[in-house]
Chains A and B, each alone.
Chain A
C-alpha cells in the first residue's frame, strides 16, 4: 500500500505545481495571445488567434499602420520611444542611487549598529503604509516645489522608497561577512575604504546584484506615483501602457504588445547577472 501512497503523493505534487504555474503564467500567456490578435478577436476567449497579426507590434513604432485592416487612433503609437527612455533613465538612476546609498547605510547598520536597534525596523514599517494614502499630499508637495513632471521628482521618490529594501537586503549580506575578515585587512594597513571595496564588496557581489535586480523591477513597474507625477514629459512605460485602455479607445492588442516589450530590459538584466546571483548566494565558508 505504500507504493499506492507514493503514487498519489507524486501525482498530487505535480498537479499542484502545474496549477501554480498556470496561475502565474496565465496572464502572460493571455498577453502573448492578445498581442497577436486582430481587433476583432480582442474580446474572444480563444487563446490561439485565428488570424495572427504582427500589426499590434508594428503600430507601436509606426504611427499610421492600420491594425488588422481597420483604422484606430494610432497617434498614441509615437509615444513608445519616449516612455521607454524615461523608464530606463528613471529606473536605472533610482536603482543605482538606492543600492549605493543603501550599501553605505547597511554597512553602518551592520558594522556599527547605526541608528540603534529601532531605526532599521522603523524604516521597514514606513513601507507598510499603502502608497495611495500619501499620493495626494505628495503631489501637492511636488507641485509646490514645481517638480511635477520632472525626472528628479520620480528618481527622488523611487530612491527614497526602495532605499529601505536596499538597506534591509544588503545588511543581511554584509552580516554574512565575518567582521574579522575586514579587521585582518585593517591590521594589514588597508584604509577602511579599501577594506570595503577590496574585501567586503567582492564577497557580496551576488547580494548586490540580487538587490539591484529586485529594486530595478520595483522601479520599472511602478505605476501609481508615475501616473500622478508625470504629465507628458516624464511618462513612464507603465503609465503609457495604461493609456491604451482609456476613454479614447481600448487598444488591447497594442497594449499587450507594449506590455510584453516592457519586460525585455528586466529579462536581459536578469540574464546577464544570473551568474553573480548564484555565486553570491553560495558563500563557500568552510565548516
Chain B
C-alpha cells in the first residue's frame, strides 16, 4: 500500500521557483530520505506535504487520497521541525500532552498515552523538567514523543539531526532507524548530509535546486548516479570529475583528458548514442583510484602527491596530474611524502562518463 505520492508538485516563492515538477512515491513503512544541499527546497517540500504551505501546481496523495485541500491536522501527518517544537514555558509532560489536549482527551487517557510514548523513547525522567535543562538529543526525543503520541501514519522530519554534535548525530541516526522499524511508520526526513541519507535510508531522493535528480536505493545512487550532481554529491570523499573530449583518429576512439587518455573504441556506439557532443566528463571515485610508488601497468598515470589527510582508519591523498587534482583513498600505511612522484591507476569498471552539457550519465564502467 503506497503511503505518500507526489505528482508534479511545483512551488514559487517570491519570484523564485523553489520546487519544480516534484514526483515520487514512498512505500509503506519506508524510511525515505530527501537529501540535498541547503536551498534545494527540502523544507518547502516537507511543508507542502504537511499542508502548512500551499502548492502552486501538482497533487499530493496520502494513502491514495488527494489531500491538496485538506487541513494539516486532517492529513494524519506528524512533523518534527529543525527547531524542535518544544515549548520552553511548559514541562516535558505538558509538551507531549499538548496535542492530546487539543484533541480533547480526558486527563487520565492523556496521562496513559504520554507515559507510554515516554517509556518507549526512554525519556520518562524528563517529564517533570522544563526544556531548558535538556540536552540536544533529549530535546529531539521530546519533540518526537510529542509527534508520536498522536500515532501518525506518516512522520516528516526536517533536518532532525542538524543541530546535534557530530558524535551524537551518529548515534541518533541509528536510533531514528530503530524507531522507524519498531513503530512501523513511514518516515520521510530531510538532510544535507549524504552520509546520513545513505546510511539509514531505505530509498533516497537526491534534490538539487528544486528538482529531484534521482530516486533510488542508496547503493544505486552510489554505484549508478544518473547525473553529475548525484555522482558528486553522494559518496565521501567526493567523486573526482575530469573534463575530457571524445576524439577519433584512424578508427580509434579515445577520451582525451589532456594529461591522460583512455581507449574506448569498443564503447563508441554506446557513447555516441547517448552524448550530445564530444565534450564529456569523466568521473572516478576516490576508493577506486590506487596509488603506488612505481607504475603498476602501462595504464598508470604519473602524478605528484600534494596533500594527505589522515582520517583514522584511512587516508585521503590529493594528487596533481597536470592541471587536475585527483583525490584518492589510500590505506593508513601509505607514507609517501608531499611533492613526491606517484603513479595512479584508475579502475576501468568503476569509471563514469557523463555528457558535459546535459550532465546525464552516459555509461558507467569503461571495460
Contact = CB atoms under 8 A, between A and B. Distances in A.
A and B from one complex: yes
A180 B85 contact: yes
Interface stretch (A8-16, A84-92, A185-193, A237-245): A185-193
B69 interface: no
Given A187-B72, A187-B73, A202 B89 contact: yes
Contacts of A202: 87, 89
Given A180-B82, A184-B81, A184-B146, A283 B88 contact: yes
Contacts of A283: 88
A178 interface: yes
| Interface residues of B, dominant DSSP | mixed
B136 interface: yes
Interface in A255-287: 283-287
A203 B79 CA distance: 21
B78 interface: yes
B198 to A, nearest CB: 27
B132 A181 contact: no
A227 B326 CA distance: 81
Interface residues of B, number: 29
Nearest to A190: B102
Contact of A185 (B47, B98, B134, B136): B98
Interface string A190-205: 1000100001001100
B34 interface: no
A189 B152 CA distance: 12
Contacts of B79: 183-184, 187
A50 B241 CA distance: 94
Contacts of A287: 136
A232 B47 CA distance: 59
A286 B52 contact: no
B102 A178 contact: no
Contacts of B98: 185, 188
A186 B52 CA distance: 8
Contact of B81 (A183, A190, A203): A183
Contacts of A184: 79, 81, 85, 146
Contacts of B139: 286
B52 A178 contact: no
B83 A178 contact: yes
Interface in A52-68: none
Nearest to B53: A183
Contacts of B136: 286-287
Contacts of A189: 73, 99, 102-103
Interface in A144-201: 178, 180-181, 183-190, 194, 199
Nearest to A178: B83
A188 B89 contact: no
A85 B192 CA distance: 62
A181 B131 CA distance: 14
Given A187-B79, A188-B99, A188-B102, A285 B73 contact: no
B77 interface: yes
A183 B88 contact: no
A15 to B, nearest CB: 39
Nearest to B150: A188
Contacts of B87: 181, 199, 202-203
B35 interface: no
A284 B131 CA distance: 8
Most chain B beta-carbon neighbours within 10 Å: one of A180, A187, A283: A187
Contacts of A190: 73, 102
B234 interface: no
Contacts of B130: 284
A187 B52 contact: yes
Contacts of B47: 183
Interface in B85-137: 85, 87-89, 98-99, 102-103, 130-132, 134-136
A194 B102 contact: yes
Contacts of A188: 73, 98-99, 102-103, 150
Given A184-B146, A187-B73, A194-B102, A286 B134 contact: yes
A189 B105 CA distance: 13
B89 A203 contact: yes
Nearest to B146: A184
A190 B87 CA distance: 15
Interface of A: 178, 180-181, 183-190, 194, 199, 202-203, 283-287
Please give me the 7 A-B residue pairs with the lowest Cβ-Cβ distance, nearest first: A184-B85, A189-B73, A188-B99, A180-B81, A284-B88, A284-B132, A187-B72
19 contacts: A180-B83, A180-B85, A181-B81, A183-B79, A183-B85, A184-B81, A185-B85, A185-B99, A187-B50, A187-B78, A187-B79, A188-B99, A189-B99, A202-B87, A284-B130, A284-B132, A286-B134, A286-B136, A286-B139
Given A188-B102, A190-B73, 10 more contacts: A181-B81, A183-B47, A183-B79, A183-B81, A185-B98, A187-B73, A189-B99, A189-B102, A284-B131, A286-B136
